[in-house]
Each structure stands twice: as C-alpha cells, then as structure tokens.
Amino acid sequence: MTTDVEGPEFDRKVHATVRERYGNVAGGTSCCGTEACCGGSGPAACGEDLGYAPEDLRGLPEGAFLGLGCGNPTALMGLATGESVLDLGSGAGVDCFLAAKRVGDSGHVIGVDMTPEMIALARENARKGGYRNVEFRRGEIENLPVPDRSVDVVLSNCVINLVPDKGKVYREAFRVLRPGGRLIVSDMVALRPIPTEARLDMQRWAGCSSGALSVEETAEKLRAAGFIEISIERSGSEGGLNVLPPSDDLGVVPATVRAYRPAPTPPRARRTR
C-alpha cells in the first residue's frame, strides 16, 4: 500500500497541488467543514472535534485557527517551560501559538510551511498576538531549515500525509531533535489499501486522504529513521478526542503518533580495584 513510489515528477505534482490548495485557503477565514479540511464537522463543532478545548482557542488572533488539522498535538504530549518546539506544516500558526503559551518566554517555537501565503498569514497573526517566542520559516518539511539537534519537540497536525516521501520527513525530524527529544503527530492513517487510481488523484491527496499510510507503514518509516518507543493510536481510543469518521470511501481516519529519539547512553563507570 506504499504511497511514495511514484518518483520526482509525481512529487512535484503533489507539492504544486498542495501549495495551490492551501495558498487559496490562507486567503479565507476558515475551511472547517469544507473539502479543504483534513477534519472537522462544521464551524461550530470543529474545534471540539479536533481536540481543542474552548480555552485553547480563546484569545488567539483571528484567522489563526482554520480548522485544517485532524487533532491537537499540543495537548497530547506535555510541553515544559523553556523547551524548543518545531511545528511541521504550521499553517496559520494555531499550534505554534498554543505551544508558545506552554513553553513560556524562555522557550522557543518554530513553524515551517512551504506555502508563502500561509507563512505571511502566520507572521501577521504572530504580530497581532504579540508572540515574541515564535518564528515562521518557509521551507519543505522534507528539507527543514533547522539545524541538527536543535529542538526538544517536533509536532505536526495533518500535514505529513500530504507529503510524498514520508520517510524523508521522519528522517529530518529525527535529525533536528536533540537526543531524548520527542515527536508528536496528529495525522491520517489508512485502514485498508488505497487503490492506485486514488493515490494518483491529486485533489484527493491534497484533501488529506489518498496520501495516508497504514499504521504498519508509518511505524516502519519511524523505525527506519531511528525513532524508538513508537505508538500509533486512532484518535478517540484514548478518550480525549472525538472519533472522526473515515474520509470518504478510502477508510482513512485520524490517529496520534508518538515517538522518541534515543537519549544518549550514560558512560559506564570505571571499576576500581
């Protein structure tokens, strides 16, 4: 069921389609409950469906929450004061702003997105909200503009499924994490094989469905990147989130992915005579 076997031309088509779709979304106010969304059941219930409590979204700059995600990764792995956080595919900035509140002024949050319109919107939202510990960088998440071993936490919300080469994304996440760092992702997973015709449908791919991997494939790519303590659970199974319905006819559902970069092994103590 692998979805990243089509080659460079296919990759370019995916990137172009995704960039165009979400560039158009950035020009609106919300896509929650529309075809462009990865989740949600309409504007009124969207935040709750995706795992955001009302207090999470209260006080955020208008336009920061577009309803594009399929979960709330900032709520699923506790962030500590002073930590550095990287958001893969940061969109209008909602998860970056929530992370910024948790890590405080001594922490730092970086959002990376390949869509110029989203970067411009997120930077304006950061300005309006007065977020001094958040920055947004334009780039592809397969080639992160972030130094090695420089962040404590990598998070992402319904974006990795949009990328043709998921393995490269996970390798890049592993590269930028400090030893002992952690990955927390809300993303879509496929419950059954996705037909080739659907995989080649750019609009379905950009709509967060036909690019999804199975749980087994996701775990395999994480292990190959070097991650340990990998867990992948369908959202709702842990009681904190509503279970969103499968995406159209492909059997694609939201899930929570957690993994860690191994911590350094402490040196063995010398034996004394």
Per-residue pLDDT of the chain (273 residues; tens, 9 = 90+): 444 556 889 999 999 999 999 998 987 744 544 444 544 444 434 666 677 878 888 889 988 988 888 888 888 778 999 999 999 999 999 999 999 999 999 999 999 999 999 999 999 999 999 999 999 999 999 999 999 999 999 999 999 999 999 999 999 999 999 999 999 999 999 999 999 999 999 999 998 889 999 999 999 999 999 999 999 998 754 433 334 444 557 889 999 999 999 998 776 755 555
Q: What is the DSSP string of 88-154?
A: ES-TTSHHHHHHHHHH-TTSEEEEEES-HHHHHHHHHHHHHHT-SSEEEEE--TTS-SS-TT-EEEE
Assess contact for 224 and 167: CB atoms under 8 A: yes
Question: What is the pTM assigned to this prediction?
Answer: 0.87
What is 8-260's CATH number, 3.40.50.970, 3.20.20.80, 3.50.70.10, 3.40.50.150?
A: 3.40.50.150
